[in-house]
Structure 1
């Protein structure tokens, strides 16, 4: 992987041109490198017997899911030699945000992943500067955060990709160019407390509000979270700016010392008054541009499950372009948005052929044969496979992508979904199968209280921040006569369901990226009424599935049960401590 951090804009442009004109050759050369380096690994020996031939790779090597290769990955994670899957030493593992099967899903990585991440970031900088005129004249207010890492039994760190990048020499020794000039000190990005970090990010950004030309977070959901912190904290932020001193509750020494230097103990009465005047307005529409008037773009991944946050961000950002920057996962970096000023809903990513070897399974039509990156067809949809230099070979990543065009000869893809995902708020991915498992566990609690579950449906509610899962239940007593609902029973149902959902969901709950799961009990006959309404509008009785018509369901709610667990409780793995039930309403409405 070439390092282009210190290339000038013309040189970076030539790199992008070369990559996108020579897709087939670069991909073939990369596959040859991967197979030659790793032909002696235990995993590849089983299928290729030491060969590095592409033809044998295509013929003999199976297409796999995480479940298929988990035994090999676990052996390395437990301390056996990396040579089981990779000649290059495995240095750490990622917690995959695509987890949906319940068990913690960890994926191997090494310096080659980091090379690809740094390369993509540098190339993205070139593209943004080319399209967003004047962005290089200021600083970025980027809400980078470092999560808590854990260890595998073999002592390898388990962390997310952005945390690894922030801790790396790439970031520590980054060039002093506009793209790496931030309003926040590094200590804020490397802090261990998310609440403190976000507050300090905002404080530093507000003090330097006239220098900010770009605002960003990894995901669109992260930007919505930032706005919520701003809504909750703007008065305190103004107080800190007015006094020139940081709030006492910021206890992380790195954050405290570095942000205090930004404040400098200097009272800024005029600046505080300006910010207070803006935030005191009744409407916060366009608030981002009002607070940071030089802002030229907002950067955040806003495709896939993150698309649901685009309307909210557009409300707060006004006419500032929302740039969906990069396409990546725990399995690989994939590509960048080479048309950053397009509308978020039209975002496609140009895959970089030098990072991983990509293959594609057609989702419809054709004979189902796997095709290479250079052979995909315009308008067709595919399942994406990855082979890389850190131990994954022909791995399904779960994404469905569609070819929308080409940048020279490099295909551009729109992410149109993930296989089997039913609910998603942040980086969680809950499938219908796994939600059913959680409901069935809660069903046992109902049955022990002489209640039975008639029907249910669900949706991801993002009307408030953080969003949360809402589960609609129609229940009956065993005597068929509905009595007053017992709060304790439904509290236990909420608890059991959350305790059943997967590690990624629990991580998001512990860090308040997702709010507490909510059960709403609807009137007797509600789901039958929904079915009758659907059929009356032409739906087939044999193919009917419950509509997610929230206005109909909410108007038929008997009670809403909200389970509230503290951050500390959810920081304890599957802790079963005291929790609080908040009964939001008791009422009976009949509309059918």
Structure 2
């Protein structure tokens, strides 16, 4: 996405409004710190020599973030050097270590996405013993080797056997319910995005946090920052974002599934409450009438600025974190993997998928019903595992980066279901009112009874045996 230096000024303006709005609902946020797990990702160069990097990486590496003035409402436990460390383990370890040292000062815990916060909890589950040893001795594990990170932690590290014993006592328990408020007892809310695809993480976050509020403070994308949630302590299901008209020029394409005729774009002040629109933006950085792909429902107005509830992403089937996989991409991946089964006299008769977030990190699950000419000579486990990896190789660069560099997505899984399963799936849909003439196999499912039906018919499950190829230039 094209951007310009002045765009950071606008984004900084939006960031500067987050805490004043939050302070209307949660007093005393200037008396403590925020434990935020923030990370940069790798950069690349375009053929013309321009730097290409994720939008948040661009912000964290800018002077707006690195040289930000002191603000009592925005004191982070994480040193800037730890946030800017490109190695995900070293960055996470040092941020978690600092968060544990400052546990009584922490008033809010957050990450950009809900999935990122859950990854941090999972990291604590895996590494609490090492963290406790470092706190007990006041030293830093050799696995954190980045000199700038080690220097930034020099003023934090000190022997604290009492804190170390506390961490051991809490983290060695089998029950991790409420672990966030047990370790950071003064936490008033979680600052995470739990709208859209991130809503799938709400039950898990409630479990780990003991049910404290989740604040979705802002609405933004790589293309443009859009607006604020002016009632940030509302329930996740009630979140609405109010558009800031100075961030871009906003237009809206009415969503009408009953009409195939092209419709006229509606201006910002002319949208109607209750109606759904696709967001269209013209940005200062050069995007002209760009369709973002978000479908929004108008919920009201703040003065003359409309508020919207995020409804869905257009055409996105699967998403774990920042990845977005659409139907055509999934189809292409299945076709590529299916080629590996041809020598074994097999092919994919039907398939569907789900984003499984029951484990951390989440991963893609693809259900296959196979057509096998000779069951005694069909594809074996090794072939199906290679099919998993082949599907991953066919995914986009964001997915592969998340698998390889970030570890925010787990290995893709293929679950082979017994013959006739997709006929049962159709029968179930028809029993609930679907038309037999218009029924199409859903390429993604999230309705619990359907997932339970599919899982009850699984004959074998296979995981990708390795990470797909990825470099910063792919």
Instruction: Please confirm whether the aligned pair reaches a TM-score higher than 0.5, indicating the same fold.
Output: yes
Q: State how far apart, in whole Å, the 2-side matches of 1:387 and 1:225 are.
A: 35
Over 3 Å counting, the alpha-carbon distance change for 1:413 and 1:558 in structure 2 is same
Match 1:506 to one of 400, 420, 437: 400
Q: How does 1:10-409 map to 2 (within 5 A)?
A: 107-263=1-157, 266-364=158-256, 368-409=263-304
Match of 1:551? Answer: 452
Q: State how far apart, in whole Å, the 2-side matches of 1:538 and 1:126 are.
A: 49
Shift of 1:408: 2.2
Over 3 Å counting, the alpha-carbon distance change for 1:484 and 1:394 in structure 2 is closer
Q: State how far apart, in whole Å, the 1-side matches of 2:127 and 2:88 are.
A: 14
Q: State how far apart, in whole Å, the 2-side matches of 1:573 and 1:494 are.
A: 23
Match of 2:422? Answer: 527
Q: State how far apart, in whole Å, the 1-side matches of 2:466 and 2:148 are.
A: 29
Q: Deviations over 1:46-89 (max 9, x none)?
A: xxxxxxxxxxxxxxxxxxxxxxxxxxxxxxxxxxxxxxxxxxxx
Q: CA RMSD in A?
A: 1.8
Q: State how far apart, in whole Å, the 2-side matches of 1:138 and 1:572 are.
A: 38
Match of 1:72? Answer: none
Q: State how far apart, in whole Å, the 2-side matches of 1:476 and 1:368 are.
A: 44
**Contact 1:241/1:268 (CA < 8 Å) preserved in 2?**
yes
Q: Deviations over 1:302-347 (max 9, x none)?
A: 1111111111111111132111121111110100111110011211
Q: State how far apart, in whole Å, the 2-side matches of 1:566 and 1:319 are.
A: 35
Q: Deviations over 1:440-476 (max 9, x none)?
A: 1222222222112211111111111111111111113
Q: State how far apart, in whole Å, the 2-side matches of 1:222 and 1:269 are.
A: 29
SS state at 1:261 partner: coil
Q: State how far apart, in whole Å, the 2-side matches of 1:488 and 1:275 are.
A: 42
**Contact 1:245/1:260 (CA < 8 Å) preserved in 2?**
no
SS state at 1:520 partner: strand
Task: Between 532-541 and 508-517, report the one with greater CA deviation.
Answer: 532-541
Q: State how far apart, in whole Å, the 1-side matches of 2:263 and 2:432 are.
A: 36
Q: State how far apart, in whole Å, the 2-side matches of 1:477 and 1:564 are.
A: 23
Are 2:331 and 1:436 aligned?
A: yes
Q: How does 1:408-447 map to 2 (within 5 A)?
A: 408-447=303-342
**Contact 1:241/1:267 (CA < 8 Å) preserved in 2?**
yes
Shift of 1:415: 0.9
**Contact 2:413/2:461 (CA < 8 Å) preserved in 1?**
yes
Q: State how far apart, in whole Å, the 2-side matches of 1:197 and 1:435 are.
A: 32
SS state at 2:109 partner: strand
Structure whose CA Rg is larger: 1
Q: State how far apart, in whole Å, the 2-side matches of 1:464 and 1:260 are.
A: 35
Q: How many residues align?
A: 464
Q: State how far apart, in whole Å, the 2-side matches of 1:300 and 1:235 are.
A: 27
Q: State how far apart, in whole Å, the 1-side matches of 2:411 and 2:459 are.
A: 19
Q: State how far apart, in whole Å, the 2-side matches of 1:181 and 1:445 are.
A: 53
Over 3 Å counting, the alpha-carbon distance change for 1:529 and 1:175 in structure 2 is same
Q: State how far apart, in whole Å, the 2-side matches of 1:120 and 1:311 are.
A: 29
Give me the TM-score of the superposition, normalised by structure 2: 0.94
Q: Deviations over 1:389-428 (max 9, x none)?
A: 1111111010001111222221111111111111111111
**Contact 1:327/1:336 (CA < 8 Å) preserved in 2?**
yes
Q: State how far apart, in whole Å, the 2-side matches of 1:541 and 1:459 are.
A: 23
Which runs of 5 or more residues in structure 2 are unaligned?
Answer: none
Q: Deviations over 1:539-589 (max 9, x none)?
A: 32123234641222122112111013259x544877xxxxxxxxxxxxxxx
Q: State how far apart, in whole Å, the 1-side matches of 2:472 and 2:322 are.
A: 20
Q: State how far apart, in whole Å, the 2-side matches of 1:351 and 1:572 are.
A: 34
Give me the TM-score of the superposition, normalised by structure 1: 0.76
Shift of 1:122: 0.2
Q: State how far apart, in whole Å, the 1-side matches of 2:167 and 2:339 are.
A: 53
Q: State how far apart, in whole Å, the 1-side matches of 2:364 and 2:130 are.
A: 31
Match of 1:563? Answer: 464
Q: State how far apart, in whole Å, the 2-side matches of 1:482 and 1:552 are.
A: 26
SS state at 2:247 partner: coil
Q: Deviations over 1:508-530 (max 9, x none)?
A: 11221111111111112211222
SS state at 1:307 partner: helix
Over 3 Å counting, the alpha-carbon distance change for 1:308 and 1:561 in structure 2 is same
Match 2:348 to one of 437, 444, 453: 453
**Contact 1:129/1:136 (CA < 8 Å) preserved in 2?**
no
SS state at 1:251 partner: coil
